[in-house]
Structure 1
Amino acid sequence: MAMTTPTRRIHYSPPWGNASIIGVAGSSGSGKTSLALAIVASLNLPWVVILSMDSFYKPLTPAQSAAAFRNEFDFDSPDAIDFDVLVDRLRDVKNGKVADIPVYSFQKHARLEQTTTIYSPHVLILEGIFALHDQRVLDMLDLKIFAEADADLCLSRRLVRDVKERGRDIDGCIKQWFGFVKPNFSKYVAPQREIADIIIPRGIENKVAIAMISSQIQKTLQHKSAQHQLELTRLGKIAEDSPLSPNAIIIKQTNQVKAIHTLLMDETTSTEDYIFYFDRMVALLIETAVDFLPFTPSQVTTPQGHVYMGLKKTAEISAVVVLRGGSAFETGLRRTIPDCRIGRILIQTNYRTGEPELHYRALPANIKQCGLVLVLDPQMSSGGAALMAVKVLVDHGVPEDRIVFVTYMAGRVGVNRVLRVFPEARCVVARMGDDMENRWVETRYLGC
């Protein structure tokens, strides 16, 4: 089954492809984090996230680290922030890519080896004392906010935070405040007030300002949703006018396969029989998909002493289950590839707009190094969720030609929608169905 590449690639931009970034600056202790949390809480959406500039302090030299433990290092100067790394990560977020965020320990005064990951936010809130300082950051911001608070209140908040969360003593905190924080506020922080779009006094107590910002973000999200729906409609029209992609592999319709189809399509089939034969069909689909794994010639000796020239796999296989339906594939997958590493993605369709939405992802470690990645979903109709699932893998570094979407039933438009955007990927299908057929396969399998 040699891969053939169909016609030219069609561009697709997911909802997070041009993330909106909001900057929140202000004095240390002015309530920036609390303000950002209040905005996120008022929206109650999984794709609005907060990024703290505290993660981007520069690694310290031994001399600087010793000074930091004596409370004599200036963390409140722009020179302490690694703006180059910050700008690079913001560009990744802006372009819909995976952004690896450093982790800084104030107890150790050092950047830790591990990182955290930000991926697919529609809106990102950047909060920090210098969020509006660097012109490269300003060029990426869609909204600039300055949080204002009384200096005495800022000092008391900083004392509580540094003692409780950063392991410092009160004398050291006061030493830092008067030695660095207060003079740097006038020199570096206060000038950001002049370029802010919105100045918010009283922080989280200012309910009107929070409601106004939340309303603006809601409008931004609604605009992104409308644009994404138009994008899917455009792709659907292109797919309708195209023949079935040569990278869509329909398994051979043998008598056994037709007999299993008959049982699965029969509404009188018992739940026990349905599960048994669906697991058998999944095994056939997985066996077909595994043929795309790279193999290399291998010579072995048989128990009778003969030499056999065969093949052995040269890379590992991972699978990504598209929840909830993809969980119906797991038993058949385990029977076929017992040691397969499995990840999960939750993509749900918004029943008000019909738009697929990414809610959760947990991918196998080092998935981009796998020789083959199977994406499992029992049914593909419009192809919107499948398109998003493949896009997630590509954004995480999985080469397109190593991705195989495996499904029991699919519509021609849905398959073409995916393979016109990702022409080097492949799709293994057991049965071609109607383009807009309602999902029923996992309901029969799971019983609910």
Structure 2
Amino acid sequence: MSCKKAEIPVYSFEKHSRLDKTTTIYSPHVLILEGIFALHDPRVLDLLDLRIFCEADADLCLSRRLVRDIKERGRDIEGCIKQWFGFVKPNFHKFVEPQRNVADMVADRIHKTLDLKSEEHRAELKRLGKETKDLPLSKNVSILDGPSQITGINTLLSGPDTTREDFVFYFDRLAALLVERATENADFDPVTVETPPPRSHPYNGLRMSGEVSAVVILRGGSILETGLRRVIPDCRTGRMLIQTSYRTGEPELHYFKMADDVSTHNKVLLLDPQMSSGGAALMAVRVLLDHGVEESRIVFVTYIAGKRGLNRLMTVFPDIHVVACRVVDDYEERWVENRYMGC
């Protein structure tokens, strides 16, 4: 699943078959494989970092099965009992129970082991988080700094008294500069043109090699489009809707639409005005990679980037380029698009 999407089948226990629809997921940070045969195939066992076998008393299993199948799957009690003794129980002892022998943990003695593992994992995550924060910025990260004019605009945008009209005006100026900087990473071919008459003469210049397109990460990325159009008026633009799951805290891809030939483009600009943890950016880059875009052709364009999230992004995808206006040390609540849109 490395940087590839997977279509997970959806099974109907009422119809005893797979449905036509699937659930699309991209390579996650932690993948949990669950099922009665999860530890059965040796090819799968070699891919697992931790193997857990969960067991319960047979009477408890039967009672849970009866309640579930009758209430949720519309089956009758006689059919459930017949299936239990004729198929489920004997096949459990034949195929499922042997998996207990290859597990790292078994449910009846799992708590103490998990507590110890949890402490180890928390310490390791804390160490990795600190290391990520302390890393120097990658050479592929370009910060829009320099003239005092840019600092002055940032001051206006950060100030509480700036009107929405002024905020939009000055933000659009910076957005155009960010896109200008992003296109510096594009490939150019030498070309000679003739200047207009009456004093025609050759001019040796450059012409962009191939197409530069953009993908907007909704909804915030749309506020960078005015600046994009000022630099590349005919830029083809795609869309991605990535939202954080309230259950898992992980980003989820809900919608995407891109050009069919996006893999052939000179550069693909990913637009998102603010990045904190980097979760949405990681997901967006994975989607582009899955559609054949080379990592070195991806440019992530943002106004504000959290340093830890930025280093996290560059550690996972070291060949992409990032153009940002500001890098902040701590996580900031998303506020830029709210100020821009007025809501």
Change in CA separation of 1:320 and 1:233 when aligned onto 2, cut-off 3 Å: farther
Change in CA separation of 1:94 and 1:360 when aligned onto 2, cut-off 3 Å: closer
Give 1:252 shift.
Answer: 2.8
Partner of 2:154 in structure 1?
A: 261
More RCO (CA 8 Å, sep 6+): 1
Cα distance in 2 for residues equivalent to 1:354 and 1:403: 25
Determine if contact 1:19/1:95 at 8 Å carries over to the other structure: no
Determine if contact 2:26/2:283 at 8 Å carries over to the other structure: no
Partner of 1:288 in structure 2?
A: 181
Change in CA separation of 1:18 and 1:332 when aligned onto 2, cut-off 3 Å: closer
Mark the runs of 5 or more structure 1 residues left unpaired by the alignment: 1-11, 38-48, 52-92, 98-121, 124-134, 140-199, 210-225
How much identity, in percent, do the aligned residues show?
A: 49
The one-letter amino acid paired with 1:259 is G
Give 1:238 shift.
Answer: 4.4
Cα distance in 2 for residues equivalent to 1:207 and 1:268: 68
The one-letter amino acid paired with 2:258 is L
Cα distance in 1 for residues equivalent to 2:322 and 2:133: 17
Of the three residues 205, 211, 215, the one matched with 1:310 is 205
Partner of 1:272 in structure 2?
A: 165
Cα distance in 2 for residues equivalent to 1:392 and 1:95: 8
Give 1:350 shift.
Answer: 2.8
SS at 1:430 equivalent:
strand
Determine if contact 1:323/1:346 at 8 Å carries over to the other structure: yes
Cα distance in 1 for residues equivalent to 2:182 and 2:127: 29
Change in CA separation of 1:232 and 1:361 when aligned onto 2, cut-off 3 Å: farther
Cα distance in 1 for residues equivalent to 2:136 and 2:7: 34
The total of aligned residue pairs comes to 271
2:214 is aligned with 1:297: no
Please give the TM-score of this superposition, normalised by the length of structure 2.
0.67
2:261 is aligned with 1:366: yes
Cα distance in 2 for residues equivalent to 1:347 and 1:353: 14
Give 1:253 shift.
Answer: 2.6
Determine if contact 1:317/1:340 at 8 Å carries over to the other structure: yes
Partner of 2:296 in structure 1?
A: 401
Cα distance in 2 for residues equivalent to 1:370 and 1:239: 31
Give 1:435 shift.
Answer: 2.8
1:88-103 aligned within 5 A: none
1:369-384 aligned within 5 A: 369-384=264-279
SS at 1:382 equivalent:
coil
Cα distance in 2 for residues equivalent to 1:207 and 1:384: 46
Change in CA separation of 1:389 and 1:31 when aligned onto 2, cut-off 3 Å: same
Cα distance in 1 for residues equivalent to 2:211 and 2:329: 34
2:301 is aligned with 1:438: no
1:106-145 aligned within 5 A: none
Cα distance in 1 for residues equivalent to 2:156 and 2:339: 12
Partner of 2:313 in structure 1?
A: 418
Cα distance in 2 for residues equivalent to 1:369 and 1:36: 35
Mark the runs of 5 or more structure 2 residues left unpaired by the alignment: 34-40, 46-68, 81-117
Determine if contact 2:157/2:170 at 8 Å carries over to the other structure: yes
Partner of 1:387 in structure 2?
A: 282
Cα distance in 2 for residues equivalent to 1:298 and 1:251: 29
RMSD of equivalent CA atoms: 4.2
1:1-20 aligned within 5 A: none
